[in-house]
């Protein structure tokens, strides 16, 4: 019997000196090399606190070397995957960040919040907060949306005489579900790119699954949760938010809502056109162009510079600053996304992906369940939903080739759902929620962590049900 160290490290040394030809490794060696590379990524992120970009890069090289790929070929595979992913996803993330920054700096977020809350009775405040978070969460990354909503959550709970948990969990559910399931968030975009899924179809199914998932994990779950956990926001935060002032001039509610929903409507319009209109027609061609992700987000950003920026009385200098200031914050995300694409391409080029596809077929395990389980394991180990999505979607990529477009889109959502499972102490979001809500570690586990787990499981159940009937 060949030992694991011999299987993994003998080809590694051969690759380092770059004199051996490409090794046609046995399936067992490929799987062992993959396990080692994933362990390297998890260990570097969890134990050494290395940035995920570096961890994914080193994990990709470990995989290539572990199966005997010459060093130059390893770099070529990684570079190819990095470039293609950055091209297909990076621009969309940048445009989404610009749109989110314009929404925040113009006061559009405040306008949406004020309008909805002014028409809501105290009894329905948790539902209103879930709706607000759902709408605001479409163009904003989770951390940005959370920072924007925290003052609203705390003040609504205080002035409406509501439990902070009751109001807060409802809002957090809306943000988290959007983050995991609905593009243009980075996770879903990465999975769509890796699995070659139809973006419009994934978006439509993602929204369909997101709505009941938010309802169950937000307003419905927050009721009993508020009875077993009591939390009070830190006094310093309350004082700060009470004394803060909002922008004097704000865009209208219609303009703010239009800016958020415009890219969603355009992308959904493309999907409808592709399924209901004849190919080659002028209307379908126009909708196909307008609904392509890059064009839809670019148009939404340009429109928002007028409807949000000018509507709030922002000068050209302020508009330029808002757009420019949105980019530094996503530099790390773009590098992680690109490195994830490099790791995915390495999995494909080494032949590991094909072996995984064959193993999954032999086990007769559902591709949707398999993708979810992989994402769950990586999420628990690294604490990062984005890293879990990147890694899991790269591993299950070959399975998507055997699926129809609908089930490929559902596989994207299954991976996204798994990436949200049980946030705990190795997740930055866990500590962000703990500090803002003034909770202990135990209270955060019983609220935030439970909510994330419910989101993941409920979304999986809905995905499997849709997979069975579609």
Tens digits of pLDDT across the chain (470 residues):
333 333 333 443 333 333 333 445 677 888 888 888 888 888 888 788 888 889 889 988 998 888 888 888 888 888 988 888 788 778 877 887 788 788 878 888 778 878 888 888 888 989 999 998 888 777 666 766 776 677 778 778 877 788 999 999 999 999 999 989 988 777 888 899 889 999 889 999 999 999 999 999 999 999 999 998 988 877 766 665 555 445 678 888 898 888 878 887 888 788 788 777 887 888 888 988 998 878 888 998 999 999 888 888 888 888 898 888 888 877 887 888 788 778 878 877 888 767 776 776 677 788 899 999 989 988 887 777 887 898 888 888 888 888 999 999 999 999 999 999 998 866 778 877 887 888 888 898 899 999 999 999 999 999 999 999 98
Using CA atoms, how far apart are residues 210 and 17, in angstroms rounded to an integer? 50
Tokens standing for residue 60: 């990709």
DSSP single-letter state for residue 51: -
Q: Indicate if the alpha-carbon torsion angle 178, 184, 190, 196 is positive or negative.
A: positive
What beta strand segments (E) does 179-282 contain? none
Using CA atoms, how far apart are residues 240 and 190, in angstroms rounded to an integer? 37
Using CA atoms, how far apart are residues 424 and 444, in angstroms rounded to an integer? 9
Using CA atoms, how far apart are residues 428 and 451, in angstroms rounded to an integer? 16
What is the reported pLDDT for 15?
Answer: 35
What is the reported pLDDT for 462?
Answer: 98
Q: Give whole-number Cα distances, 66 to 36, 43, 244, 310, in Å.
A: 8, 17, 56, 56
List the one residue out of 129, 194, 136 whose CA is nearest residue 165.
Answer: 129
Domain ranges of the chain: 4-15+26-469
What does 192-220 look like in DSSP terms, one character per residue?
HHHHT--HHHHHHHHHHHHHHHHHIIIII
Q: Quickly tell me which residue has 């570690």 as its tokens.
A: 441
Q: Give whole-number Cα distances, 359 to 30, 344, 366, 370, in Å.
A: 12, 18, 12, 11
Tokens standing for residue 17: 């000196």
Using CA atoms, how far apart are residues 127 and 350, in angstroms rounded to an integer? 49
Query: b/e map of 448-457 (b: 16 or more CB within 10 Å)?
Result: bbbbbbbbbb
User: Taking the complete model, does pTM exceed 0.95, yes or no?
Assistant: no
Q: How far is CA 396 from the centre of its chain?
A: 17
């Amino acid at each position: 019997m060949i030992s694991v160290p011999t299987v993994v490290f003998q080809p590694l040394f051969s690759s380092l000196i770059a004199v051996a030809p490409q090794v046609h490794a046995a399936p067992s060696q490929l799987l062992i090399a993959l396990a080692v590379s994933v362990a390297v990524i998890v260990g570097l992120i969890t134990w050494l606190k290395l940035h995920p970009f570096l961890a994914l890069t080193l994990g990709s090289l470990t995989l290539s070397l572990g199966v005997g790929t010459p060093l130059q070929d390893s770099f070529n595979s990684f570079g190819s995957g990095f470039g293609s992913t950055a091209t297909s996803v990076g621009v969309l993330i940048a445009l989404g960040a610009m749109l989110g920054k314009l929404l925040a700096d113009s006061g559009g977020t405040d306008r949406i919040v004020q309008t909805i809350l002014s028409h809501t009775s105290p009894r329905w405040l948790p539902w209103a907060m879930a709706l607000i978070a759902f709408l605001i969460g479409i163009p904003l990354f989770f951390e940005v949306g959370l920072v924007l909503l925290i003052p609203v959550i705390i003040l609504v709970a205080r002035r409406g005489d509501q439990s902070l948990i009751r109001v807060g969990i409802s809002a957090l559910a809306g943000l988290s579900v959007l983050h995991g399931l609905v593009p243009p968030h980075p996770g879903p975009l990465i999975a769509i790119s890796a699995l070659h899924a139809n973006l419009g179809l994934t978006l439509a199914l993602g929204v369909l699954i997101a709505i009941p998932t938010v309802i169950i994990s937000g307003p419905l779950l927050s009721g009993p949760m508020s009875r077993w956990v009591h939390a009070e926001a830190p006094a310093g935060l309350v004082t700060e938010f009470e004394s803060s002032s909002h922008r004097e001039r704000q865009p209208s509610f219609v303009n703010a809502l239009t800016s958020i929903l415009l890219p969603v409507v355009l992308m959904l319009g493309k999907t409808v056109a592709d399924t209901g209109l004849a190919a080659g027609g002028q209307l379908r061609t126009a909708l196909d162009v307008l609904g392509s992700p890059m064009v839809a987000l670019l148009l939404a950003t340009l429109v928002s510079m007028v409807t949000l920026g000018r509507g709030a009385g922002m000068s050209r200098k302020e508009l330029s600053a808002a757009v420019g200031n949105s980019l530094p914050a996503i530099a790390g995300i773009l590098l992680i996304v690109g490195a994830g694409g490099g790791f995915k391409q390495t999995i494909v080029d080494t032949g590991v992906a094909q072996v995984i596809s064959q193993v999954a077929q032999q086990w007769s395990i559902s591709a949707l369940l398999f993708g979810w389980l992989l994402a769950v394991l990586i999420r628990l180990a690294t604490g990062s939903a984005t890293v879990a999505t990147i890694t899991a979607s790269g591993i299950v990529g070959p399975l998507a080739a055997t699926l129809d477009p609908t089930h490929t889109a559902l596989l994207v959502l299954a991976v996204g759902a798994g990436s949200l499972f049980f946030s705990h102490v190795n997740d930055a979001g866990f500590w962000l929620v703990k500090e803002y809500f003034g909770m202990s570690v135990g209270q955060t586990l019983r609220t935030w962590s439970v909510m994330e787990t419910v989101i993941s499981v409920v979304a999986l159940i809905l995905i499997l049900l849709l997979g069975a009937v579609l």
